[in-house]
Amino acid sequence: MKSVANVFKSLPVVSAVVRADAMPVEAQAYAWDEIVLDWEQRVRVRARRVTTGGIEFATALPRGTVLREGDCLVLSSLQLNVRVIECPEQVLVVRPRDAAEAAEFSYHIGNSHSPMMIDGGLIICPEMPGMTRLLEYHQIPFERAERPFTPLGQVVGHRHGSLS
CATH 3.30.70.790 residue ranges for the chain: 89-147
Q: What was the pLDDT predicted at 132?
A: 93
Q: What was the pLDDT predicted at 160?
A: 39
Q: Model confidence at 150, in pLDDT bands (50, 70, 90)?
A: confident
Q: Has residue 84 got a pLDDT over 50?
A: yes
Q: Model confidence at 159, in pLDDT bands (50, 70, 90)?
A: very low
Amino acid at site 91: V
Q: Model confidence at 6, in pLDDT bands (50, 70, 90)?
A: low
Q: Has residue 161 got a pLDDT over 50?
A: no
- The CATH number of 13-86 is 2.60.260.20
Q: Determine the distance from the C-alpha atom of residue 112 to the mean position of all C-alpha atoms in its chain, rounded to a whole number.
A: 19
- What is the reported pTM? 0.75
Mean pLDDT of the chain: 87
Q: What was the pLDDT predicted at 20?
A: 86
CA torsion 5-18-71-12 (nearest 10°) is -30
- Of the two residues 62 and 10, the one the predictor is more confident about is 62
Helix, strand or coil for residue 128? coil
> Each residue of 24-54: b (16+ CB within 10 Å) or e?
eeeeeebeebebebebebbbeeeeebebeee
Q: What was the pLDDT predicted at 128?
A: 86
Stretch 153-163: mean pLDDT, rounded? Answer: 43
- Of the two residues 142 and 115, the one the predictor is more confident about is 142
Give the contacts of 101 (CB within 8 A, at least 6 positions apart).
Answer: none
CATH 2.60.260.20 residue ranges for the chain: 13-86
Q: Has residue 157 got a pLDDT over 50?
A: no
- The CATH number of 89-147 is 3.30.70.790
Q: What was the pLDDT predicted at 71?
A: 95
Q: Has residue 39 got a pLDDT over 70?
A: yes
Burial class (CB in 10 A: 0-12, 13-18, 19+), 136: exposed
Half-sphere exposure of 163 (CA within 13 A, CB side): 0
